[in-house]
Chain A
Amino acid sequence: MTAASFRDVERLSAYLDGELSQAERARLESRLARDVGLSAALDELRATRALLRRTPRRRAPRSFTLTPKMAGLRPPLPRAVPVLRLASVLATLLLFVTFAGELLGSIAMGAQAPAPQEMASEYGGGVGGGPAENATAAADKGLVLEATPTLEANALLAPAPQEMTPAYGGGVGGGPVENTAEATEQNITAEATPTSGIAASLAPQATLEATPVPEARTLEQPAPPSVPPVPEERAAKPPFGLSPLQIALLALAIVLGGVAILIGWQTRRAFEKNVKRDA
């Protein structure tokens, strides 16, 4: 009578549970017939298993059913809700992309002069942003070239665009006022110092295309054809400096998100009513 090895105990245990393959079972049964020790080990395992199977079962102390509240139940939402939510999120993301575009544009330009940076940040991302940026970029060059000799010219030029923006925000009748504002502006700067006058006249000129600096000297007066396009662009701007595209995106995000929330809320309310009625 030899003590069964663990491999044998494992086999005997699986044999009891009917978990041996047919070949394994046949081999074990023929060994069991010859080996008394092995069959004694089997009997002990069988007795242990039988005892464990007789473990008294206790009744559940209470019911473990879930209440809707415990389950944190939410009604199945209509398909439209996730779609609307996604669309709202996408619109918001696009809005931020346009903002980011403006920011990048202004950073690229802002390193040179602080004043045009403000303008760029307002115009960069919009529909008509491209030309405006060109204009300010060109104006920058003019500033750098011309304004360096005199500090005075810088001081006069720098605040000018900032002051202009509120004036253009005015609305429909803004056009002519803007023109005169710019004109007087340039007159003032022109009077102040010779160099600043050149710089001022450079700005509108730049919208046409970068022209050599000497030519600018001949254009002491503001060049009329180049001025109107700038106010037109500005006139399209709403008070908060958002482009039409940005406004559309913002409205889309708010409307779609709002509709999604509304549908979700109504579904949940109807569902809670049903639950209460069932209970």
Chain B
Amino acid sequence: MDEPALIRSAQRGDLEAFNRLVLAYQEALYNTALRILNDADLAADATQEAFLSAFRGLNGYRGGSFRAWLLRTVTNACYDELRRRKRHPTTPLTPRDDDDEEVEAPRWLADPNLSPEAQLEQAELEHAIQHCLDGLPADFRAVVVLADIQGLDYAEVAAALRKPIGTIKSRLARARLRLRECLQAFRELLPAAFRLEEERGL
């Protein structure tokens, strides 16, 4: 069945149709939440919450990019979580050193099909990106996660975040500028990845 048909069935209360959409989009929603929140458990909670509210509010979907519509529910769930966190700061479970950096990269999550070197590189890249994303204000982080990590176009990001396209355009530029500066500090840590980009840039 195609997506519009599944959506129509789900809107009539067909949970099975909705769950097929969940399976198609859960990775996108989970990874979005993970990059915005930087916490696997909270990201899973936000994803579940997002799908629940999506199912309940499904009749509010009136065409357009369904992915953007779903990503809006998950960014909303993330904003709720960030507001909660602001009110009740907690100590992270992952060990951190004096600079508040995670001591160990989450290597256990890397793709097992990659060579050990590539796995290390992946883990370091993920760590560097996540660290730099965390340094951005939440509004900018959401824009860059949706546009550059999830690959949404400006109109979709604008729909997902309910902001004018002009705002998205300017926030994305600013976020990229700041991320560039931040990532440059990891240049030594990520030789392979950056070499690749430098070759492309020349």
Contacts and interface: CB of A to CB of B under 8 A. Distances in A.
A: interface residue count bin:
35 or more
A51 B149 contact: no
Contact of A60 (B30, B122, B126, B198): B30
Contacts of B173: 6, 9-10, 12-14
Given A52-B176, A63-B23, A66-B19, 6 more contacts: A45-B177, A55-B126, A56-B123, A60-B44, A66-B18, A71-B55
Interface of B: 12-13, 15-16, 18-19, 22-23, 26-27, 29-31, 34-35, 40, 44, 47-48, 51-52, 55-56, 109-111, 122-123, 125-126, 129, 144, 147-149, 151, 153-154, 169-170, 172-174, 176-177, 179-180, 183, 193-194, 197-198, 200-202
B15 A19 contact: no
B149 A55 contact: yes
Nearest to A65: B19
A19 B169 CA distance: 9
A240 interface: no
Nearest to B151: A53
Contacts, number: 130
A52 B201 contact: no
B40 A61 contact: yes
Interface string A15-58: 00101000000000000000000000001111111111111111
A50 B31 contact: no
Q: List the 10 closest A-B pairs by CB distance, nearest first.
A: A13-B173, A52-B148, A47-B197, A65-B19, A43-B201, A10-B173, A48-B180, A64-B26, A60-B30, A60-B26
Interface in A136-184: none
